[in-house]
Amino acid sequence: MGSFVLHGNIIDSESPERLRVAADSYLVCEEGRCTGVFSALPERFSGLPLTDFGDRLILPGMTDLHLHAPQFAFRGLGMDLELLDWLNAHTFPEEAKYADLSYAALAYGQFVDCLRRSATTRAVVFGTVHPAATTLLMELLEASGLVSYVGKVNMDRDCPEALREADAAASLAATEQWLASARFAHTKPILTPRFVPSCSDALLQGLGELAARRGLPVQSHLSENLGEIALVQSLCPQTDFYAEAYDRCGLLSQPCIMAHCVHCPPEEQDLLQARGVFIAHSPLSNSNLSSGIAPVSAYLARGLRVGLGSDLAAGETENLFRVMAEAIRVSKLRWRLLDDTTAPLTVAQAFYLATRGGGAFFGEAGCFEPGFALDAVVLDDSALVHPQELTPIERLERCIYLADERHIAAKYVAGTRLF
Ligand code: GUN
Ligand code: FE
């Protein structure tokens, strides 16, 4: 964790609506945190080591609020089904393989290598039901230098025997066993009931109590797909809407991420807002599984907390540039085809979601304001040739549509340079 100065074209989000650009400027980091952005370097920082990135773009590191590490292995495969059939046909058989630690080491090694090279600096990750494989995943993430939350998945019903935990007590005991080994500096545990159909009432109740007792955050899926929502309604006839099944167990009361939220009725949105829940918008996944399009600009307008999720492997890539572009693209289709009262996302809003919006789950992360963690990606967009000189904002917009890990010249997480 260092103290240093970076020079380049610095861009971050002031708010969902406003990008902040400091061309040809200096970003000062002290003890891993931002001190500020300066157009001329103040004398008092002249003793710090300076890395001159010249004309390159310096952006905040990005946060992936929702992805499944074990699904990396089948990214780009099996996109012809909706959620519930996709889980049975592709996801559960692959996740069962993580009972084998040597397979987990190979597959999770490939996943973590890929995430490390991406624009993602912070991530909130699903593992599998297996405690040992999930701890192994945490060891690999810790060694990568990324900052993350990782969850051992809980599921005690409605899945193949190979993955099903015997009952709520067995699932909670396995969770406690995993928590005892999950002690890392930058890789923290998060409780992970897969979703209501996979968890008995007793398991959700037990996880809610565990979250409160240990002050642990929670992640799950919510109102993703119409077939799933109908199933939850039949499983929980006494609830008025899906999120109540989590809330009645206290699962929305800790720091919490709910992935998708494509089809949330107004009362459900009110509850998410009252509980301060983060929504992980995962547009690639929502297109691939024919789930729908979440009304993200309406969520932002009403002050809900929203970030982006790649949702590997229902989303086919960890590349958050692609996720930003897809978020903008599907928001236009939603506006054109479904609801012309919800405006399409702007470039500034999509960039906010990928940086500040999701970064907020980690506290002060996702922008270059004083005191925030110094997470940065340095982009070399010179290979994206253009016959004219472009402004930094135009270059950022092109990167959202065109960049991938090949354009990342350097990456910093909490003041440490990863490459
Ligand atoms: N709902 C429950 N499990 C999953 C999963 O693995 N992926 C997605 N997209 N939704 C889910
Ligand atoms: Fe998911």
The closest of 300, 301, 247, 304 to 277, measured between CA atoms, is 304
The answer on pLDDT for 312 being more than 80 is yes
Instruction: Please give the number of the atom of ligand 1 that sits closest to the Cα of 282.
Output: 9
Residue 22 Cα, ligand 1 centroid: separation in angstroms? 40
Residue 83 Cα, ligand 1 centroid: separation in angstroms? 7
Phi-psi group of 215: left, alpha or beta (phi > 0 → left; psi -120 to 50 → alpha; rest → beta): left
The per-residue pLDDT for range 280-291, each reduced to its tens digit, is 999 999 999 999
| The Cα angle at residue 252 between residues 246 and 258, in degrees rounded to 5 | 80
Q: Give yes or no for a contact between 218 and 254, defined as CB atoms under 8 angstroms apart.
A: yes
pLDDT for 65: 98
Pocket test for ligand 1, best of 98, 224, 263 (most atoms within 8 A of CB): 224
Shortest-distance ligand to the CA of residue 194: 1
The answer on pLDDT for 163 being more than 80 is yes
The per-residue pLDDT for range 119-145, each reduced to its tens digit, is 999 999 999 999 999 999 999 999 999
Pocket test for ligand 1, best of 98, 194, 312 (most atoms within 8 A of CB): 194
Residue 369 Cα, ligand 2 centroid: separation in angstroms? 31
The answer on pLDDT for 151 being more than 80 is yes
Shortest-distance ligand to the CA of residue 262: 1
Inter-helix orientation angle 201-214/168-181, to 10°: 30
Rounded to the nearest 5°, which phi and psi values hold at 94?
-70, -45
Single-letter code of the amino acid located at 55: D
Residue 273 Cα, ligand 1 centroid: separation in angstroms? 22
The per-residue pLDDT for range 332-391, each reduced to its tens digit, is 999 999 999 999 999 999 999 999 999 999 999 999 999 999 999 999 999 999 999 999
Instruction: Please give the number of the atom of ligand 1 that sits closest to the Cα of 315.
Output: 9
Tell if the pTM clears 0.95, that is, is over it.
yes
The closest of 255, 252, 283, 254 to 269, measured between CA atoms, is 252
* Contact residues of ligand 1, CB 6 A cut-off: 68, 83, 87, 91, 194-195, 221, 224, 285, 311, 314
Residue 6 Cα, ligand 2 centroid: separation in angstroms? 36
Shortest-distance ligand to the CA of residue 67: 2
Per-residue DSSP letters for 125-169?
A: EE--S-HHHHHHHHHHHHHHT-EEEEE-EE--SSS-TTT--SSHH
> What is d(CA 30, CA 33) in angstroms, rounded to the nearest whole number?
5
Shortest-distance ligand to the CA of residue 64: 2
Q: Taking residues 200-223, what's their average pLDDT?
A: 98
Place of tokens 């310096």: 58
Residue 85 Cα, ligand 2 centroid: separation in angstroms? 14
Percent of residues, the chain, with pLDDT higher than 70 = 100
**DSSP code of 344?**
P
> What is d(CA 226, CA 205) in angstroms, rounded to the nearest whole number?
25
Q: Taking residues 182-202, what's their average pLDDT?
A: 98
